[in-house]
Amino acid sequence: MLNIMPKTFIGVRDVDTKTFQRFRTRSTAERLKIGDALNKAMLLWLQHPSKPKKRKGFTLRPFDWGPGTERTSMEIDTILYGK
């Protein structure tokens, strides 16, 4: 069917058993091999990109470490990367 690229064996973890059973049943009913049905599903999913989800509650804000720490960032860079 979609023999565009060489075939690859993959193992997939965390697949919902009931969802996979329904997928296998439908692919069998349409006389498709599981690999061909999966290729079709992946291509269809890739054609409809979704917006990236924003992380809730994760924002970085600058804060003051107090007096005498004005050069802390530069001192850390010197320790890590040298002069």
Per-residue pLDDT of the chain (83 residues; tens, 9 = 90+): 555 667 888 898 999 999 999 999 999 999 999 999 999 999 999 998 888 777 777 777 888 888 988 888 889 999 999 87
* Confidence at residue 26, expressed as pLDDT on a 0 to 100 scale: 96
Identify whether 71 is part of a domain. no
**Structural domain includes residue 83:** no
What's the CA gap between 41 and 13, in Å, rounded?
17
**34 found inside a domain:** yes
The reported pLDDT for the residue numbered 62 is 81
Q: Residue 5's closest CA among 46, 47, 36? A: 36
> What's the whole-model pTM score?
0.52
What pLDDT is stored for residue 39 in this prediction?
93
Q: Which two tokens stand for residue 40?
A: 């079709």
Q: In total, how many domains does the chain have?
A: 1
Radius of gyration of the chain (CA): 25
- Domain residue limits at 25: 17-47
pLDDT at 33: 94
Residue 52 lies in a domain: no
Q: How far apart are CA 20 and CA 27, in angstroms?
A: 10
Q: Which residues touch 82 (CB under 8 Å, ≥6 apart)?
A: none
